[in-house]
Amino acid sequence: MCIRDRNYSIDFDHPFNYNLIQTTNLCVYLDSGNYYWFVVEAADDLTDVIWIYSNSPLYQIASSQDSGISWQTDVSYAGAGSIFGEQIYVQEASEGDLNSDFTTNVVDIVSLVSYVLGESSFNQEQLIIADLNRDGLINVVDIVAMVSIVLSPPLQVSDFNLEDINPASNYFSQEIGPSFFSGQVSAYYFGKQGWTTCKARFGILNDLYNELLAEGIDDVKIMGINGFQYIEDSVDCMICNDECTSNTCSLGPRVLSWSQDYDDGLNCLDENQGLCEAGDDDGDVWELMDATLRDFVIVDRNGNEFARVNLTYNNPDPTEIGECTGNYQKIKDLILSARNR
């Protein structure tokens, strides 16, 4: 495990108090029942790292320079640190998605048939995904189950309308949603404004949208929806307006639509009655779409859900950890495939 994407300077006005280091661009996996080293290293040869927290230099401490092989004791300041997460994410095995392209289709069926016939092999993750009926065997029963998944009718998404509050968007101040984008491919990012990871993911989607436009593809629309529980957070650096001073907005305003979900029941009327309700502390649209933080839902021209990818676990950044996964291109390919359905 290595968390290395932040250069951090101690707050010298409060050197003996907590200093919070946010590392939000990487997913870090810690297995239960194990011990891990928590290491702080200097940013360069001219900097020393002194990890201290207590106000008193009279604590009995032990330190190691060789990862615990040997220890030295001393009387000095006592250090303390912790790792905590905003939320715990457990990635569910995608139903039948053997090639990890975020969708289950005929390619996965061909792969499964090849395995059952003994013509190919699967890794451990694929073995879990392929056992669709969870009986510990991979056979023709699983092939039938996968064919059923592929042939199942598409899910029609619930319609909703939210105001676009991004002044840089083409749809600023308009009420937009699935019916507004009917006949086009639309995608919905469920984020948390003001939170670094969500801002970064939304920025990547903004780049992807601009890339599609540069390629002459103008029938794809992407909309961000802030959760009702995050309504008090600042929107400035999510849309990169003039009030944001973060370096994440160095390229200027983002052009994607951004909206705020509410718990007022206005999107729970008519055909949505009973699918969400006002006053339950859940945002109505997040409830309608059964959304989890950082879900990215792609909807085809007919209003059917085409794919759903959670961008917490599946980092789409083509320049960081996502580069080795190819997630950016996979998501782009999903959008292009939705245009052709």
Q: How many CB atoms lie within 10 A of CB 52?
A: 16
* Closest residue by Cα to residue 320 from 26, 6, 22, 43: 26
Query: Could you list the pLDDT tens digit for every one of the 341 residues in the chain?
Result: 334 444 555 555 555 555 555 554 445 556 667 666 666 666 667 766 665 566 677 878 777 777 677 888 888 777 666 665 555 555 555 689 999 888 899 999 999 999 999 999 999 889 999 999 989 999 999 999 999 999 988 889 999 999 999 999 999 999 999 999 999 999 999 999 987 888 889 999 999 999 999 999 999 999 999 999 999 999 999 999 998 887 778 888 999 999 999 999 999 999 999 999 999 988 999 999 999 999 999 999 999 999 999 998 888 988 865 556 789 999 999 999 999 87
- Where do the structural domains in the chain lie, given as residue ranges? 1-85, 106-151, 155-339
Q: What letter would DSSP give residue 10?
A: -
Query: How many contiguous H segments (helices) and E segments (strands) does the chain have?
Result: 7, 10
What pLDDT is attached to residue 29?
A: 57
User: What phi and psi, each to the nearest 5 degrees, are found at residue 276?
Assistant: -155, 170
Q: What letter would DSSP give residue 79?
A: P
* Closest residue by Cα to residue 94 from 105, 83, 80: 105
Residues forming beta bridges with residue 299, ordered by sequence position: 186, 305
- pTM assigned to the model: 0.72
Cα–Cα–Cα angle for 271, 272, 274, nearest 5°?
A: 115
Exposure letters 133-166 (e unless 16+ CB within 10 A, then b): eeeeebeeebbebbeeeeeeeeeebbbbebebbb
Fold of 155-339: Glutaredoxin (3.40.30)
The CA-based dihedral angle spanning residues 92, 95, 97, 102, taken in that order and rounded to the nearest 10 degrees: -60
Query: Exposed (0-12), middle (13-18) or buried (19+): which is 306, by Cβ within 10 Å?
Result: buried
Q: Which segments within the chain are labelled E, that is strand?
A: 59-63, 72-76, 155-156, 162-163, 175-176, 185-191, 220-226, 257-260, 295-299, 304-310
